C-alpha cells in the first residue's frame, strides 16, 4: 500500500506495475483484490489512466491492460544513452563475428527505432555490406522489421491490439501481414521459437533475424538483429540465432546490473 502524501499517485503506479507483470489483461475486481485497494478507487484510477492512454479497456470481458502511453514511456527510457552504451560493444562484436550488419532497435509506438548500426570491418566481411535504409534514428513499421517483430512477439496481446487495432496494415514491398489477425498469428509462432525474421519486407532481397533482450520486469526492452543479402548467406540460421541469443542474454544481464557470463 502506498505511504506517501499522494496515495492516489502511488496506487496508480502500483496498478501500472501490476499490469506490466501480468501475462495479459485483468478485470478491475482482480486488481482491487491483488493490490488491496478499494474497488471504487481502482475504477476511478483506471478511468484516469485509460483517458491518458496508459491503460487500455477491452469491453469484451471487461478487461484492462497496458496502453500505448505506458509502452511509449518504456521505449523512451530505453532510447537513452545508457542502453546504447551497454549494447555498443555487443553490437560491434556481433558484426565482426557474423561479417554482417548488426542493429540495436526499440519500439516507439507501432514503429521500430534504430539506435545502433554496426558494419563489419573489411577484414571480417566476406563481401561489401549492402546499402540499407536502417540508419540510426530511422523509424520503420514495427510489424515489418525483425527488430520490431521480436519485441511485439514478446509483448502482451493487449499491447499488440492497442498498437494495431485495425487493418489494413501497410507494406513496403507488397509483402507482410495485411491484418492484425495475420500479424498476431505470425507473432505467436515467433514467440514460441524465441526469434523473429523478415525476408524482403523492408528491402527486396534482404533477410533479417532478431532476438529480444528483457528488462527487470521480464518485458521486451530492445532487440538485436542482423541483416544480409539472401543470395549471399555465409552462416546457417541456427548459428546466427545462437550468436544473437548469446548477445541478447548478455544485454539483458547488463540492463539488470548483473555481470554477464
Span 60-79, average pLDDT: 78
227 assigned to some structural domain:
yes
Q: Give 34-46 pLDDT, tens digit per residue.
A: 999 999 999 999 9
Predicted pLDDT of residue 131: 76
Domain limit, last residue, from 23, 51, 66: 66
Residue 12: which CATH number? 1.10.10.10
Query: What is the rounded average pLDDT of the residues 7-26?
Result: 88
Would you say residue 14 lies in a domain? Answer: yes
- In this structure, the answer to whether residues 191 and 80 fall within a common structural domain is yes
In whole angstroms, give the CA distance from residue 212 to residue 155: 11
Residue 244 in grid coordinates: 544473437
Domain contains 37: yes
Contact criterion met (CB below 8 Å) for 98 and 238: no
Q: Which among 219, 224, 209, 220 has a CA at the least distance from the CA of 86? A: 224
Examine residue 1 and state whether it is found in any structural domain, yes or no.
no
Same domain, 156 and 221: yes
Statement to judge: residues 221 and 139 lie in one domain: yes
**Looking at residue 155, which CATH number applies to its domain?**
3.30.450.40
The answer on 47 and 106 residing in a single domain is no
Per-residue pLDDT of 93-117, as tens digits, reads 999 999 999 999 999 889 999 999 9
User: What pLDDT is recorded for position 207?
Assistant: 94
* pTM of the predicted protein model: 0.69
* 173 and 233 part of one domain: yes
The answer to whether residues 32 and 101 belong to one domain is no
Same domain, 60 and 88: no
Asked if residue 250 and residue 161 are part of one domain, the reply reads yes
What digits encode the pLDDT tens for the residues 119-145?
Answer: 988 877 667 777 788 889 899 999 999
- Least reliable range by pLDDT among 33-37, 82-86, 126-130, 192-196: 126-130
234 lies in the same domain as 106? yes
What confidence tens digit (pLDDT) does each residue in 206-238 have? 999 999 999 887 889 999 999 998 877 778 999
List the domain range (segments joined by +) for residue 237: 73-255
* 92 and 196 assigned to the same domain: yes
Residues 21 and 57 in one domain: yes
Q: Is residue 261 part of a domain?
A: no
The domain boundary, picked from 36, 66, 96, lies at 66
Greatest Cα pair distance, the chain, in angstroms, is 65
Domain membership of residue 237 (yes or no) is: yes
Q: Which of 79, 255, 71 has the alpha carbon at shortest distance from 155?
A: 71
- Report yes or no on 134 lying in a domain: yes
Give the pLDDT score at 3.
Answer: 47
Decide if 111 is inside a domain: yes
Residues 91 and 200 in one domain: yes
Nearest to 254 by CA among 87, 76, 103, 120: 87
pLDDT at 1: 43
Q: How many independent structural domains does the chain possess? A: 2
Confidence of residue 147 (pLDDT cuts 50, 70, 90): very high
Number of helical H runs and strand E runs in the chain: 9, 9
- Give pLDDT, residue 80: 57
Domain end among 41, 66, 91 = 66
Mean pLDDT of the region 55-69: 89
Amino acid at each position: 500500500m502506498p505511504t506517501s502524501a499522494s496515495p492516489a499517485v502511488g496506487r496508480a503506479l502500483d496498478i501500472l506495475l501490476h499490469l506490466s507483470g501480468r501475462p495479459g489483461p485483468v478485470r478491475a475486481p482482480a486488481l482491487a483484490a491483488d493490490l488491496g485497494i478499494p474497488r471504487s478507487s481502482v475504477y476511478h484510477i483506471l478511468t484516469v489512466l485509460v483517458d491518458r492512454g496508459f491503460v487500455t479497456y477491452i469491453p469484451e470481458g471487461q478487461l484492462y491492460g497496458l496502453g500505448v502511453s505506458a509502452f511509449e514511456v518504456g521505449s523512451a527510457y530505453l532510447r537513452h544513452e545508457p542502453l546504447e552504451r551497454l549494447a555498443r560493444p555487443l553490437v560491434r562484436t556481433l558484426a565482426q563475428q557474423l561479417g554482417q550488419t548488426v542493429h540495436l532497435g526499440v519500439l516507439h509506438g507501432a514503429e521500430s527505432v534504430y539506435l545502433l548500426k554496426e558494419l563489419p570491418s573489411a577484414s571480417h566481411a566476406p563481401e561489401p555490406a549492402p546499402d540499407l535504409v536502417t540508419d540510426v534514428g530511422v523509424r520503420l513499421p514495427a510489424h515489418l522489421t525483425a527488430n520490431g517483430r521480436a519485441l511485439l512477439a514478446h509483448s502482451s496481446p493487449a499491447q499488440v491490439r492497442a498498437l494495431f487495432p485495425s487493418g489494413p496494415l501497410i507494406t513496403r514491398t507488397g509483402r507482410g501481414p495485411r491484418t492484425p489477425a495475420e500479424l498476431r498469428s505470425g507473432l505467436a509462432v515467433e514467440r514460441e521459437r524465441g526469434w523473429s525474421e523478415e525476408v524482403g519486407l523492408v528491402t527486396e532481397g534482404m533477410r533479417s533475424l532478431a532476438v529480444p533482450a528483457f528488462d527487470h520486469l521480464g518485458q521486451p526492452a530492445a532487440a538485436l538483429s542482423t541483416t544480409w543479402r539472401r543470395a549471399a548467406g555465409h552462416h546457417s540460421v541456427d548459428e546466427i540465432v545462437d550468436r544473437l541469443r548469446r548477445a541478447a542474454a548478455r544485454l539483458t544481464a547488463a540492463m539488470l546490473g548483473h555481470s554477464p557470463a
